[in-house]
Amino acid sequence: MAAACTPSPKSRAPSPSAPPPPSAPAAASLPAAAGSTLRAPEPGARWARGSSQVVAWAPGASAGDVTIELRAPGGAIVASERAPAARGRAVVVAPPTGDRLEVRITSRGALDASVDVALAPSEHRAYRWVRVTERAAFPRRDGAGSVVFRNKMWVVGGWYPSAAFPRLTGNDVWSSPDGARWTRERANSFRDATFDATRDWEGRHTGGCVVFGDKIWLLGGDPLQYHYQPDVWSSEDGRRWRRVAARVPWGNRALHYAVVHDGRMWVIGGQTMPDYVDPDDSGVPYRVFDDVWSSSDGAEWREAPRLGPRFSPRGAIVGSAVLGGRIWVLGGGTYESAVAGKPSREYNGDAWSSADGSRWTLESAHVPWEAREYHAVAVWDDRLWVVGGYNDGGNLGDAWYSTDGKSWYSTGPTEWDPRHAACLWVHRDALWLGCGGDEDVWRLERSNVIEKSVGK
């Protein structure tokens, strides 16, 4: 059995838990015998102008550096970058003009590989972060459920070792119409061994939290009480909660991803955590999941059949992203387990989408933002968003957006502290950020909206 401590990232970081023109005929990759071969972009790729893109390669037998060149039709070099061959990856920016581009990799002055890319109209927009409050009224936390319900932003539960959460997690609920004024809708009752888990939901974090059928729903939870929380709860007002199911078929897991799509609630991926829940007691060994479940009522769940390839097993994606009638899985990762002999984590930097949970499309195998987990995702302004997160480098403080999962743009430098397992809300035509182990709340708006307000 694991010791009564919090997951390792919490000790390493403040909290626990990145119509287009038709494609021109693509040039075939031209590998040299001892040179590198291109992995990305692939023939037929299309980049939005000005977007950040990945050039990835498999290093050849010869050591040293490679040069990545972007060339316009006719051979003029638009951009050039030198990188160690062993790195296998470089992030470049597509030019702001033109319809075609040749991507080349050279080493020792010789061409290793090249491919043609079509350029599409830019999807760039200007945004700006505005701090709403330096210190919100609710206690510091991360991994909280974050939803928009009845024209308010809600914070549901969460984790932080403090007097507010004597059992590490809590079940308090807060709401706000504007990110500055917060109302405690219910106090934390998850405080000691007298708590009755049949009458109220245990404190939890990084579980599923969605709005569906004009209710807030909690879908599963975490292992920090040395058992899984395989239950489902719903509330019509955030104060009074009803247990819909005591045990669902996917319930013995943590770090799962939850969305609402096509009239159903969905739970995707996650993993077991035998360092917290003894496999001898639970009968559940270490496993990372890539399964997909859905329900129309929270009580009856069905697993989506596997029809073709899908994302690798993973979890630790916070929030939800549904765009263009499709569920999106963006990045994500795994948690280490000494019990299972898994001393390190895995982080993913890819984008997948599905209309039905069974047939998945790999939209990008190489996104420009760092591979990560515990990042917050959302859809706002007709764009996918990836905000913050965690990897072996620590907490991340960036924000990225894309209309298609293939071409990504950064919002640029952020003023808020790097964080992970944060709250992300889409409210009043803006994107709002809070928690993640910090006490502040920020709002992302289109720059022109802010400029108008400043001018008044």
Condensed to tens digits (0 to 9), the pLDDT of residues 254-283 reads 999 999 999 999 999 999 999 999 888 778
Three-class SS of residue 86?
helix
Helix (H, G, I), strand (E, B) or coil at 447: helix
Give the pLDDT of residue 252: 96
Q: What is the pLDDT of residue 189?
A: 97
> What pLDDT is stored for residue 418 in this prediction?
98
Cβ pair 287, 279 in contact under 8 A: no
351, 367 in Cβ contact below 8 A? Answer: yes
Domain coordinates of the chain in residue numbers?
Answer: 37-120, 125-455
> How far apart, in whole angstroms, are the C-alpha atoms of residue 62 and residue 36?
8
Contact 48, 121 (CB under 8 A): yes
Taking the C-alpha atoms of residue 86 and residue 19, their distance in angstroms, rounded to an integer, is: 38
Task: Give SS3 for 173.
Answer: strand
Sheet hosting strand 409-410, strand order edge to edge = 317-319, 375-380, 383-391, 394-402, 409-410
Q: b/e per residue, 297-335, with b = 16+ CB within 10 A?
A: ebeebeebeeeeebbbbbbbbbbbbbbeebbbbbbbbbb
Q: Which fold has domain 125-455?
A: Neuraminidase (2.120.10)
The predicted structure's pLDDT at residue 284: 86
Q: Whose CA is closest to 158, among 277, 15, 276? A: 15
**Which pLDDT value is given to residue 34?**
54
Per-residue pLDDT of the chain (456 residues; tens, 9 = 90+): 333 334 433 333 333 343 333 333 333 343 433 578 899 999 999 999 999 999 999 987 666 899 999 999 999 999 999 999 999 999 999 999 999 999 999 988 788 899 999 999 999 999 999 999 999 999 999 999 999 999 999 999 999 999 999 999 999 999 999 999 999 999 999 999 999 999 999 999 999 999 999 999 999 999 999 999 999 999 999 999 999 999 999 999 999 999 999 999 999 999 999 999 988 877 889 999 999 999 999 999 999 999 999 999 999 999 999 999 999 999 999 999 999 999 999 999 999 999 999 999 999 999 999 999 999 999 999 999 999 999 999 999 999 999 999 999 999 999 999 999 999 999 999 999 999 999 999 999 999 754 333 333
Q: What is the pLDDT of residue 101?
A: 96
8 A C-beta contact, residue 202 and residue 223: no
Q: What is the dihedral of CA 179, 180, 186, 188, to 10 degrees?
A: 90
CATH of 37-120, one of 2.60.40.1930, 2.40.30.10, 3.20.20.105, 3.40.640.10: 2.60.40.1930
Tell me the residue type at 240.
Answer: R
pTM value is: 0.91
C-alpha neighbours within 13 Å on the C-beta side of residue 424: 26
Check residue 109 and give its pLDDT: 79
Closest CA to 218 of 347, 125, 230: 230
Whether 37-120 and 125-455 share one fold: the answer is no
Q: Between vectors from CA 311 to CA 305 and to CA 317, what angle results, nearest 5°?
A: 105
Contact 433, 28 (CB under 8 A): no
